[in-house]
Amino acid sequence: MPVKEAKLLEGKILAKQIQEEIHASVQKFISKGLEAPKLCALQIGKDASAEWYLGQQQKLAQKLGLEYELIAADGIPDQKTLLARIADANRSSAHGIFMTMPLPKGFDADAALLALDPKKDVEGIHPTSLGLIVLRKAKLIPPTAYAAFQLIESTGLKLHGKQAVLVGQSAIVGRPLQLMLGERRVTTLVCNTGTPAETIQKFVEASDIVIACAGQPGIVKGAWIREGQIVIDVGTTEVNGKITGDIEFEEARKRAAFITPVPGGVGPLTVTMLMRNLIHAYRWQKGL
Protein backbone atom coordinates (compact mmCIF):
# COMPACT_ATOMS: atom_id res chain seq x y z
CA MET A 1 0.00 0.00 0.00
CA PRO A 2 1.55 3.38 -1.00
CA VAL A 3 2.62 5.74 1.78
CA LYS A 4 0.38 8.79 2.07
CA GLU A 5 2.59 11.86 1.91
CA ALA A 6 2.01 15.22 3.53
CA LYS A 7 0.51 18.08 1.57
CA LEU A 8 3.26 20.50 0.59
CA LEU A 9 2.91 24.07 1.81
CA GLU A 10 4.63 25.88 -1.05
CA GLY A 11 5.31 29.54 -0.48
CA LYS A 12 5.00 30.55 -4.14
CA ILE A 13 1.33 29.51 -4.26
CA LEU A 14 0.33 31.64 -1.28
CA ALA A 15 2.68 34.42 -2.44
CA LYS A 16 0.77 34.72 -5.71
CA GLN A 17 -2.52 35.27 -3.86
CA ILE A 18 -1.03 37.89 -1.54
CA GLN A 19 0.72 39.65 -4.43
CA GLU A 20 -2.63 40.03 -6.16
CA GLU A 21 -4.00 41.67 -2.99
CA ILE A 22 -1.00 44.01 -2.80
CA HIS A 23 -1.33 45.00 -6.47
CA ALA A 24 -5.05 45.72 -5.97
CA SER A 25 -4.21 47.95 -2.98
CA VAL A 26 -1.62 49.88 -4.99
CA GLN A 27 -4.10 50.45 -7.81
CA LYS A 28 -6.67 51.66 -5.28
CA PHE A 29 -4.22 54.17 -3.79
CA ILE A 30 -3.37 55.51 -7.24
CA SER A 31 -7.04 55.75 -8.25
CA LYS A 32 -7.55 58.02 -5.22
CA GLY A 33 -4.79 60.34 -6.40
CA LEU A 34 -2.19 59.05 -3.94
CA GLU A 35 1.37 58.11 -4.80
CA ALA A 36 2.49 54.48 -5.01
CA PRO A 37 4.13 53.06 -1.86
CA LYS A 38 7.93 53.34 -2.02
CA LEU A 39 10.63 51.12 -0.53
CA CYS A 40 14.16 52.41 0.07
CA ALA A 41 16.74 49.62 0.37
CA LEU A 42 20.14 50.22 1.96
CA GLN A 43 22.86 47.79 0.94
CA ILE A 44 25.59 47.65 3.57
CA GLY A 45 28.61 45.65 2.47
CA LYS A 46 28.98 43.10 -0.31
CA ASP A 47 27.22 39.79 0.23
CA ALA A 48 25.97 37.43 -2.48
CA SER A 49 22.82 36.31 -0.64
CA ALA A 50 21.91 39.91 0.25
CA GLU A 51 22.40 41.00 -3.35
CA TRP A 52 20.15 38.15 -4.51
CA TYR A 53 17.46 39.20 -2.03
CA LEU A 54 17.70 42.83 -3.14
CA GLY A 55 17.27 41.66 -6.73
CA GLN A 56 14.13 39.75 -5.75
CA GLN A 57 12.77 42.85 -4.04
CA GLN A 58 13.37 45.01 -7.07
CA LYS A 59 11.68 42.54 -9.44
CA LEU A 60 8.65 42.15 -7.20
CA ALA A 61 8.30 45.89 -6.61
CA GLN A 62 8.22 46.48 -10.36
CA LYS A 63 5.66 43.70 -10.83
CA LEU A 64 3.36 45.11 -8.14
CA GLY A 65 3.60 48.76 -9.21
CA LEU A 66 5.64 49.82 -6.18
CA GLU A 67 8.43 52.39 -6.21
CA TYR A 68 11.88 51.09 -5.33
CA GLU A 69 15.15 52.87 -4.55
CA LEU A 70 18.44 51.08 -3.90
CA ILE A 71 21.35 52.80 -2.21
CA ALA A 72 24.28 50.54 -3.10
CA ALA A 73 27.08 49.46 -0.76
CA ASP A 74 29.58 51.87 -2.34
CA GLY A 75 27.51 54.72 -0.98
CA ILE A 76 27.56 53.43 2.60
CA PRO A 77 31.23 52.84 3.54
CA ASP A 78 30.97 53.33 7.32
CA GLN A 79 28.66 53.69 10.34
CA LYS A 80 28.51 57.47 10.19
CA THR A 81 27.39 57.39 6.57
CA LEU A 82 24.85 54.65 7.33
CA LEU A 83 23.22 56.74 10.06
CA ALA A 84 23.12 59.71 7.68
CA ARG A 85 21.49 57.56 4.98
CA ILE A 86 18.91 56.29 7.48
CA ALA A 87 18.15 59.86 8.55
CA ASP A 88 17.72 60.85 4.89
CA ALA A 89 15.39 57.89 4.28
CA ASN A 90 13.36 58.73 7.40
CA ARG A 91 12.76 62.24 5.99
CA SER A 92 12.29 61.12 2.39
CA SER A 93 9.19 60.19 0.43
CA ALA A 94 9.93 56.49 1.03
CA HIS A 95 7.29 54.66 3.06
CA GLY A 96 9.53 51.73 3.98
CA ILE A 97 13.22 51.24 4.73
CA PHE A 98 15.11 47.97 4.37
CA MET A 99 18.69 47.31 5.51
CA THR A 100 20.73 44.28 4.51
CA MET A 101 21.68 42.30 7.61
CA PRO A 102 23.87 41.24 9.32
CA LEU A 103 25.96 44.37 9.10
CA PRO A 104 29.67 44.04 8.27
CA LYS A 105 32.38 44.32 10.91
CA GLY A 106 32.78 47.88 12.14
CA PHE A 107 29.06 48.70 11.98
CA ASP A 108 26.75 49.00 15.01
CA ALA A 109 23.50 47.17 14.22
CA ASP A 110 21.72 48.30 17.40
CA ALA A 111 22.42 51.96 16.70
CA ALA A 112 21.26 51.55 13.11
CA LEU A 113 18.01 49.87 14.13
CA LEU A 114 17.24 52.52 16.74
CA ALA A 115 17.83 55.23 14.13
CA LEU A 116 15.01 53.87 11.94
CA ASP A 117 11.60 55.52 11.89
CA PRO A 118 9.48 52.69 13.41
CA LYS A 119 6.66 53.44 10.98
CA LYS A 120 9.01 52.69 8.06
CA ASP A 121 10.51 49.52 9.55
CA VAL A 122 9.33 47.00 6.94
CA GLU A 123 11.58 44.31 8.43
CA GLY A 124 9.70 44.58 11.74
CA ILE A 125 12.93 44.54 13.76
CA HIS A 126 12.80 47.93 15.51
CA PRO A 127 12.06 47.60 19.26
CA THR A 128 8.78 49.43 18.65
CA SER A 129 7.70 46.86 16.06
CA LEU A 130 8.55 43.93 18.30
CA GLY A 131 6.99 45.63 21.31
CA LEU A 132 3.69 46.14 19.49
CA ILE A 133 3.61 42.41 18.74
CA VAL A 134 4.00 41.73 22.47
CA LEU A 135 1.11 44.12 23.18
CA ARG A 136 -1.05 42.36 20.55
CA LYS A 137 -1.14 45.54 18.50
CA ALA A 138 1.20 44.38 15.73
CA LYS A 139 1.76 46.74 12.81
CA LEU A 140 4.91 45.40 11.12
CA ILE A 141 5.97 41.78 11.63
CA PRO A 142 9.37 40.28 10.67
CA PRO A 143 8.71 38.85 7.16
CA THR A 144 10.10 35.35 7.77
CA ALA A 145 7.98 34.85 10.89
CA TYR A 146 5.04 36.43 9.06
CA ALA A 147 5.52 34.00 6.14
CA ALA A 148 5.68 30.96 8.42
CA PHE A 149 2.52 32.04 10.22
CA GLN A 150 0.65 32.62 6.97
CA LEU A 151 1.56 29.11 5.80
CA ILE A 152 0.23 27.64 9.06
CA GLU A 153 -3.04 29.55 8.61
CA SER A 154 -3.26 28.48 4.97
CA THR A 155 -3.89 24.89 6.08
CA GLY A 156 -7.39 25.98 7.07
CA LEU A 157 -7.19 23.97 10.28
CA LYS A 158 -8.60 25.37 13.50
CA LEU A 159 -5.67 26.57 15.58
CA HIS A 160 -7.51 27.36 18.81
CA GLY A 161 -6.52 24.86 21.49
CA LYS A 162 -3.64 23.34 19.50
CA GLN A 163 -0.13 22.84 20.85
CA ALA A 164 3.00 23.97 19.01
CA VAL A 165 6.70 23.50 19.55
CA LEU A 166 9.33 25.97 18.33
CA VAL A 167 12.84 24.64 17.91
CA GLY A 168 14.91 27.82 17.96
CA GLN A 169 14.08 31.21 19.42
CA SER A 170 15.54 34.08 17.40
CA ALA A 171 14.18 37.59 17.94
CA ILE A 172 12.96 37.84 14.34
CA VAL A 173 11.49 34.36 13.83
CA GLY A 174 10.91 32.20 16.92
CA ARG A 175 9.76 34.84 19.39
CA PRO A 176 7.36 36.68 17.04
CA LEU A 177 5.88 33.32 15.99
CA GLN A 178 5.37 32.34 19.61
CA LEU A 179 3.44 35.56 20.20
CA MET A 180 1.34 35.30 17.03
CA LEU A 181 0.41 31.70 17.78
CA GLY A 182 -0.51 32.75 21.30
CA GLU A 183 -2.99 35.23 19.84
CA ARG A 184 -4.69 32.28 18.14
CA ARG A 185 -4.83 30.55 21.53
CA VAL A 186 -2.16 28.03 20.61
CA THR A 187 -0.08 26.75 23.53
CA THR A 188 3.57 27.05 22.55
CA LEU A 189 6.69 25.36 23.91
CA VAL A 190 10.16 26.61 23.01
CA CYS A 191 13.25 24.43 22.68
CA ASN A 192 16.44 26.44 22.49
CA THR A 193 19.29 25.01 20.43
CA GLY A 194 21.06 23.70 23.54
CA THR A 195 18.08 21.52 24.52
CA PRO A 196 18.94 17.77 24.65
CA ALA A 197 17.71 15.80 21.64
CA GLU A 198 15.54 13.53 23.76
CA THR A 199 13.71 16.57 25.19
CA ILE A 200 13.15 18.05 21.72
CA GLN A 201 11.83 14.68 20.58
CA LYS A 202 9.39 14.55 23.49
CA PHE A 203 7.96 17.98 22.71
CA VAL A 204 7.85 17.39 18.95
CA GLU A 205 5.91 14.16 19.37
CA ALA A 206 3.43 15.85 21.72
CA SER A 207 2.69 18.85 19.46
CA ASP A 208 0.18 19.55 16.71
CA ILE A 209 2.42 22.14 15.04
CA VAL A 210 6.19 21.74 14.69
CA ILE A 211 8.27 24.77 13.68
CA ALA A 212 12.03 24.47 13.26
CA CYS A 213 13.98 27.73 13.04
CA ALA A 214 17.33 26.88 14.63
CA GLY A 215 19.56 26.96 11.56
CA GLN A 216 20.88 23.48 12.38
CA PRO A 217 20.30 20.90 9.63
CA GLY A 218 18.52 17.77 10.83
CA ILE A 219 18.00 18.97 14.40
CA VAL A 220 14.44 17.59 14.13
CA LYS A 221 14.45 13.95 13.06
CA GLY A 222 11.85 12.80 10.57
CA ALA A 223 11.02 9.80 12.75
CA TRP A 224 9.80 12.16 15.50
CA ILE A 225 7.00 13.52 13.32
CA ARG A 226 3.61 11.90 13.78
CA GLU A 227 0.48 11.74 11.65
CA GLY A 228 -1.64 14.85 11.38
CA GLN A 229 1.02 17.42 12.30
CA ILE A 230 1.68 20.75 10.58
CA VAL A 231 5.44 20.93 10.01
CA ILE A 232 7.11 24.26 9.19
CA ASP A 233 10.83 24.30 8.39
CA VAL A 234 12.36 27.79 8.44
CA GLY A 235 15.97 26.56 8.37
CA THR A 236 18.12 27.23 5.32
CA THR A 237 21.71 26.05 5.58
CA GLU A 238 24.01 25.24 2.68
CA VAL A 239 25.41 21.71 3.01
CA ASN A 240 27.62 20.37 0.21
CA GLY A 241 26.26 22.96 -2.18
CA LYS A 242 22.61 22.18 -1.37
CA ILE A 243 20.15 24.20 0.73
CA THR A 244 19.00 22.06 3.65
CA GLY A 245 16.36 22.62 6.31
CA ASP A 246 16.30 21.87 10.03
CA ILE A 247 13.96 18.88 9.62
CA GLU A 248 14.68 15.56 7.93
CA PHE A 249 12.22 16.20 5.12
CA GLU A 250 11.81 12.86 3.33
CA GLU A 251 11.05 10.91 6.50
CA ALA A 252 8.89 13.66 8.00
CA ARG A 253 6.81 13.91 4.83
CA LYS A 254 5.68 10.31 5.23
CA ARG A 255 3.94 11.19 8.50
CA ALA A 256 2.92 14.86 8.60
CA ALA A 257 -0.38 16.22 7.30
CA PHE A 258 1.25 19.42 6.00
CA ILE A 259 4.92 20.24 5.49
CA THR A 260 7.04 23.01 3.96
CA PRO A 261 9.77 21.95 1.55
CA VAL A 262 13.26 23.48 1.74
CA PRO A 263 13.81 25.27 -0.51
CA GLY A 264 10.38 26.29 -1.76
CA GLY A 265 8.43 26.69 1.48
CA VAL A 266 8.86 29.74 3.70
CA GLY A 267 11.56 31.38 1.57
CA PRO A 268 9.55 32.28 -1.56
CA LEU A 269 6.91 33.93 0.60
CA THR A 270 9.29 36.11 2.63
CA VAL A 271 9.85 38.89 0.08
CA THR A 272 6.08 39.04 -0.52
CA MET A 273 5.49 39.55 3.20
CA LEU A 274 8.09 42.33 3.14
CA MET A 275 6.00 44.06 0.47
CA ARG A 276 2.84 43.47 2.47
CA ASN A 277 4.58 45.21 5.37
CA LEU A 278 5.28 48.13 3.01
CA ILE A 279 1.53 48.40 2.36
CA HIS A 280 0.85 48.27 6.12
CA ALA A 281 3.51 50.96 6.72
CA TYR A 282 1.99 53.15 3.97
CA ARG A 283 -1.47 52.91 5.53
CA TRP A 284 -0.07 53.52 9.04
CA GLN A 285 1.71 56.70 7.92
CA LYS A 286 -1.30 58.02 6.04
CA GLY A 287 -3.89 56.99 8.62
CA LEU A 288 -5.75 54.82 6.10
The per-residue pLDDT of the chain, averaged, comes to 95
User: pLDDT by residue (tens digit) across 124-146?
Assistant: 999 999 999 999 999 999 999 99
pLDDT the model gives residue 4: 73
> Hey, how many other C-beta atoms are within 10 angstroms of the C-beta on 272?
26
Task: Over range 255-269, report the average pLDDT.
Answer: 95
Residues 160, 185: Cα–Cα separation, whole Å: 5
pLDDT the model gives residue 48: 86
Burial class (CB in 10 A: 0-12, 13-18, 19+), 90: middle
Task: Over range 238-256, report the average pLDDT.
Answer: 93
pLDDT at 1 > cutoff 70: no
User: pLDDT by residue (tens digit) across 141-179?
Assistant: 999 999 999 999 999 999 999 999 999 988 889 999 999
Confidence of residue 3 (pLDDT cuts 50, 70, 90): low
Residues 37, 67 contacting (CB under 8 angstroms): yes
pLDDT the model gives residue 260: 97
User: pLDDT by residue (tens digit) across 88-122?
Assistant: 999 999 999 999 999 999 999 999 999 999 999 99
